[in-house]
């Protein structure tokens, strides 16, 4: 069994590049978080952005002992993404940057600060908000991610790398991908369709663009999963010159399914970008992924989803739930006992174990928060797998 059950199923996931207007906002929000953490790892940050033609609005709460120049961070981040040319209709030097930031509410802070939670001396750090978070893993790819979202991320990442060379110099920063995978009896069999939307210069020949995107980007990434029946759709409307914040408004946290598992694993109530790890929206979801990935890496199940729920100001979770969709190799009750024994879901312990008070977040903002091969992504480690396997008797 699996989340797809028996029979033939087609499932699609999408990703968007760093130049997508929502991702511009995510990256700006996380760049501000990183700037704060560089000098003050105890900073409390909850920053969101809105962008549209010629402007970015930065708003939220920020409590820190350091000083960050918001205007400079925003402009440099937009430059890094690739909006550095006035011909794009949106560029880092001429855009307006509006800032509306205040300190974190003391009513919230008292529930999070160690020693003040619930007014008791020595109390543990509580959760920064109520809510539920999910983590997910599946053994259908080496990175233990669903195939469709894994391929979709790799496509837009490859496109971004090529855009920054002279190989396809007509490409512009905005792009999207979508991958449809055919499953048979719960297992991925092949990629059925690939959709790419690539912003480009106005004078490019559309057929040249379509051919080069398929040959230089899609086929090298999807190689072993495509066959003679796979269909490719590149720039389905034809022309895609106007893109980024000129074509569409962007908002922080609007691509949460892109950020997680592409719609196969569930998502909780909150977005990630712009939030320091005292916000369990982020740290709880990262830890859920860490737990689920270790369960699958240990061979306890082929697929695992973990839910954790919190109350604001309270350290101990309200609940922790493990679901293996019938793919478990030992009793699911035993897996739950092993998770409870080996993983501490209290917010301060999560932050300490995953080393989350570091300036590592800007690079999480595009191409997915999970399934990445980067030593800073500590929630991707499988360092508990051997212990789980041994204690399970496998």
Burial tier of 205 (Cβ tally within 10 Å: 0-12, 13-18, 19+) = exposed
Active site residue 383: no
Active site residue 48: yes
Give the integer Cα–Cα distance in Å for 135 and 137: 7
Q: Which of 169, 249, 355, 374 is catalytic?
A: 249
Q: Which of 91, 140, 212, 281 is catalytic?
A: 281
Active site residue 240: yes
Contacts (Cβ under 8 Å, ≥6 apart) of 340: 320
Q: Which of 26, 48, 276, 305 is catalytic?
A: 48
Active site residue 61: yes
Active site residue 44: no
147 near 182, Cβ under 8 Å? no
Active site residue 255: yes
Cβ atoms within 10 A of the Cβ of 201, count?
13
Q: Which of 23, 172, 362, 369 is catalytic?
A: 23
Q: What is the DSSP string of 182-216?
A: EEETTEEEEEEEEEEEEEE-TTS-HHHHHHHHIII
Active site residue 158: no
Q: Which of 143, 248, 332, 336 is catalytic?
A: 248
Cα three-residue angle 247-253-258, rounded to 5 degrees: 85
Active site residue 216: no
Q: Which of 153, 163, 176, 384 is catalytic?
A: 176
Q: Which of 18, 20, 212, 287 is catalytic?
A: 20
Q: Which of 14, 22, 26, 129 is catalytic?
A: 22
H helices of the chain, in order, are 21-39, 70-81, 106-112, 147-163, 206-213, 219-222, 244-247, 256-259, 280-297, 332-342, 347-354, 385-392
Active site residue 23: yes
Burial tier of 98 (Cβ tally within 10 Å: 0-12, 13-18, 19+) = middle
Q: Which of 75, 172, 279, 282 is catalytic?
A: 279
Q: Which of 172, 200, 255, 282 is catalytic?
A: 255
Tokens standing for residue 221? 């990434």
Tokens standing for residue 275? 């939030």
Q: Which of 37, 136, 240, 370 is catalytic?
A: 240
Q: Which of 154, 254, 369, 384 is catalytic?
A: 254
Active site residue 80: no
Tokens standing for residue 276? 């320091």
Tokens standing for residue 311? 């109350």
Active site residue 164: no
Active site residue 40: no
List, by residue number, the catalytic residues. 20, 22-23, 48, 61, 176, 240, 248-249, 254-255, 275, 279, 281
């Amino acid at each position: 069994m699996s989340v797809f059950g028996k029979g033939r199923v087609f499932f699609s996931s999408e990703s968007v590049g760093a130049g997508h207007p929502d991702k511009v906002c995510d990256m700006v929000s996380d760049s501000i978080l990183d700037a704060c953490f560089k000098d003050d790892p105890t900073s409390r940050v909850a920053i969101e952005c809105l962008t549209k033609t010629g402007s970015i609005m930065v708003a939220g709460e920020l409590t820190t002992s350091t000083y960050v120049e918001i205007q400079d961070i925003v402009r440099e981040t937009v430059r890094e993404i690739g909006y550095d040319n006035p011909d794009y209709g949106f560029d880092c030097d001429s855009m307006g940057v509006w800032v509306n930031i205040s300190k974190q509410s003391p009513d919230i802070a008292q529930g999070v600060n160690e020693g003040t939670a619930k007014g008791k001396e020595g109390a543990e750090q509580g959760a920064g908000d109520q809510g539920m978070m999910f983590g997910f893993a599946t053994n259908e790819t080496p990175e233990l991610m669903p195939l469709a979202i894994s391929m979709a991320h790799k496509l837009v990442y490859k496109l971004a790398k090529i855009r920054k060379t002279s190989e396809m110099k007509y490409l512009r920063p905005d792009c999207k991908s979508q991958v449809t995978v055919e499953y048979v009896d719960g297992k991925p069999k092949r990629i059925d369709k690939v959709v790419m939307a690539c912003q480009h210069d106005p004078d490019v020949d559309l057929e040249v663009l379509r051919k080069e995107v398929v040959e230089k980007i899609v086929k090298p990434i999807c190689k072993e999963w495509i066959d003679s029946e796979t269909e490719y759709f590149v720039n389905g409307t034809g022309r895609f010159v106007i893109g980024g914040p000129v074509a569409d408004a962007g908002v922080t946290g609007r691509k949460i399914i892109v950020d997680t598992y592409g719609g196969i694993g569930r998502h909780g109530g909150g977005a990630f970008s712009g939030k320091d790890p005292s916000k369990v929206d982020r740290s709880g979801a990262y830890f859920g992924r860490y737990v689920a990935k270790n369960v699958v890496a240990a061979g306890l199940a082929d697929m695992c989803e973990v839910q954790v729920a919190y109350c604001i100001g309270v350290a101990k979770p309200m609940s922790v739930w493990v679901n293996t969709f019938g793919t478990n190799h030992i009793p699911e009750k035993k897996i739950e006992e092993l998770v409870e024994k080996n993983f501490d879901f209290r917010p301060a312990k999560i932050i300490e174990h995953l080393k989350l008070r570091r300036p590592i977040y800007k690079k999480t903002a595009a191409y997915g928060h999970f399934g990445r091969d980067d030593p800073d992504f500590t929630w991707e480690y499988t360092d508990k797998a051997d212990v789980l396997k041994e204690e399970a008797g496998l």
